[in-house]
Amino acid sequence: MSPALITQKMGRVAVLMGGHSSEREVSFMSGRGVLEALRAQGIDAHPFDPAEHDLGELKAMGVERCFITLHGRFGEDGTVQGALELLGIPYTGPGVLASSVAMDKVMTKRIWRAEGLPTPAWREVASAEEALAAFAELSPNDEPMIVKPAREGSTIGLTKVTLASQCAEAYRLAAQMDPLVLCEQFISGDEVTCPVLGAGAQARALPVIHIVAPGGNYDYQNKYFTDTTQYIVPCDLPEGEEAAIQALVLKAYRTLGCRGWARADVMIDARTRQPYLLEINTSPGMTSHSLVPMSARATGMSYEALCLQVLASAALDNPLPQSLPAAAQNTPAAGA
């Protein structure tokens, strides 16, 4: 299909950005980049902020597809996806269930563990006292422990605890963001990430990126607003490790029922070289510092081509039927 026909097929597109989450600022950065890239390719694309406009307005605008660049809650967690399902407007990224599950790090880890996929040991905690008990359990040799909100992104509210005395403050910080707090075993080693594009058997993993942050601290600031973090792609991992991580990430992606695109974060134990799945992001960043465009670029795919491919994958989990089945039409209304 020619580029002109592909562009025409996309119809009117809304790029959803901003939103209500704590990642609103980064979402605008992603959204503006995607909007500019789509327009440069002739796509009839328009910005849309769900925090300022009712999603129902999308129908009145004649929107035929949505490119979701919302990050965090109320955008990456299945809520917007569910609304778009009801509106019948195809959207990018995983569907309602996969988005909802992936946003909940505890539920994600339960599913991965049930499927035999490696993920660091963890405990859900509901108080500072429980966080202290988790530290004793997960860090028996005074090793670090990660404390973070279970349903936040971009390391917001995360603390690397190295002393028992830090548990109360770490819990307080995480609980400000989410009443469900996760304490997780810290894996010391190489931090890597791996994007996936596509769905089902056709899904493919892109090159793995080795992330080397200042002091090993890949926090919100180092992710988006500094140039001191190193991103090594093609990665410098020992022979065979990249392929093994790509296979692991593909299995993790398919296990959660993801489609369209996502990006999984992995830690590799420095001593054993065992990779551990941390989480999966179902609405990855598309800023100048973002990792999916960086990985795609290593394969020769431009930012603009990536945006167009993701947009072309927009879909619905359950398209509404054009008309009700005959049996449903003959069913008496409730209370009749």
Digit-coded pLDDT (tens) for 115-147: 999 999 999 999 999 999 999 999 988 899 999
pLDDT band at 324 (very low <50, low <70, confident <90, very high): low
Q: Can 152 be counted among the known catalytic residues?
A: no
pLDDT at 289: 84
Catalytic residue among 65, 78, 171, 224: 224
Mutual orientation of helices 79-87 and 96-103 as an angle, nearest 10°? 170
- 219 and 303 both lie in a single domain: yes
Q: Is the pTM of this model over 0.85?
A: yes
CATH code for position 268: 3.30.470.20
Nearest to 105, CA basis, from 256, 260, 317:
256
- 206 and 80 both lie in a single domain: no
Please give the full DSSP string across 239-282, using - where no structure is assigned.
Answer: TTHHHHHHHHHHHHHHHTT--SEEEEEEEEETTT--EEEEEEES
- 222 and 302 both lie in a single domain: yes
* Residue 254, number of CB atoms within 10 A of its CB: 16
Q: Can 269 be counted among the known catalytic residues?
A: no
Q: Can 12 be counted among the known catalytic residues?
A: no
Catalytic residue among 18, 21, 22, 23: 23
Q: Can 303 be counted among the known catalytic residues?
A: no
For residue 207, pLDDT beyond 90? yes
Beta strands in the chain (DSSP E): 12-16, 44-48, 65-68, 122-125, 145-149, 159-161, 181-185, 189-197, 204-205, 209-212, 230-232, 261-269, 275-281
pLDDT band at 273 (very low <50, low <70, confident <90, very high): very high
Rounded Cα distance, 195 and 65, in Å: 22
CATH code for position 157: 3.30.1490.20
Catalytic residue among 21, 27, 139, 154: 154
pLDDT band at 155 (very low <50, low <70, confident <90, very high): confident
Predicted confidence (pLDDT) per residue in 12-25, tens digit: 999 999 999 888 99
Buried b or exposed e, range 74-110, using 16+ CB within 10 angstroms: ebbbbbbbbbbbebebbbbbbbbebbbbbbbbbbbbe
Range of the domain at 36: 3-92
Q: Can 65 be counted among the known catalytic residues?
A: no
Both structure tokens of 99: 């988005």
Catalytic residue among 22, 139, 222, 281: 281
Buried b or exposed e, range 145-157, using 16+ CB within 10 angstroms: bbbbbbbbbbbbb
Catalytic residue among 171, 184, 285, 290: 285
- 36 and 160 both lie in a single domain: no
Catalytic residue among 265, 283, 290, 295: 265
User: Please, are residues 268 and 209 in contact by the beta-carbon 8 Å criterion?
Assistant: no
- 216 and 271 both lie in a single domain: yes
Q: Can 184 be counted among the known catalytic residues?
A: no
Catalytic residue among 76, 152, 190, 279: 279
Rounded Cα distance, 132 and 121, in Å: 15
Buried b or exposed e, range 299-322, using 16+ CB within 10 angstroms: eebebbebbbbbbebbbbbeeeee
- 108 and 235 both lie in a single domain: yes
Rounded Cα distance, 292 and 306, in Å: 9
- 107 and 240 both lie in a single domain: yes
- 199 and 228 both lie in a single domain: yes
Q: Can 52 be counted among the known catalytic residues?
A: no
Examine residue 97 and state whether it is found in any structural domain, yes or no: no
- 25 and 88 both lie in a single domain: yes
Examine residue 322 and state whether it is found in any structural domain, yes or no: no
- 151 and 200 both lie in a single domain: no
pLDDT at 216: 63
Examine residue 191 and state whether it is found in any structural domain, yes or no: yes
Provide the domain count of the chain.
Answer: 3
- 194 and 293 both lie in a single domain: yes
Q: Can 224 be counted among the known catalytic residues?
A: yes
- 19 and 74 both lie in a single domain: yes
Examine residue 336 and state whether it is found in any structural domain, yes or no: no
3-state secondary structure of 157: coil
Catalytic residue among 257, 263, 295, 313: 263
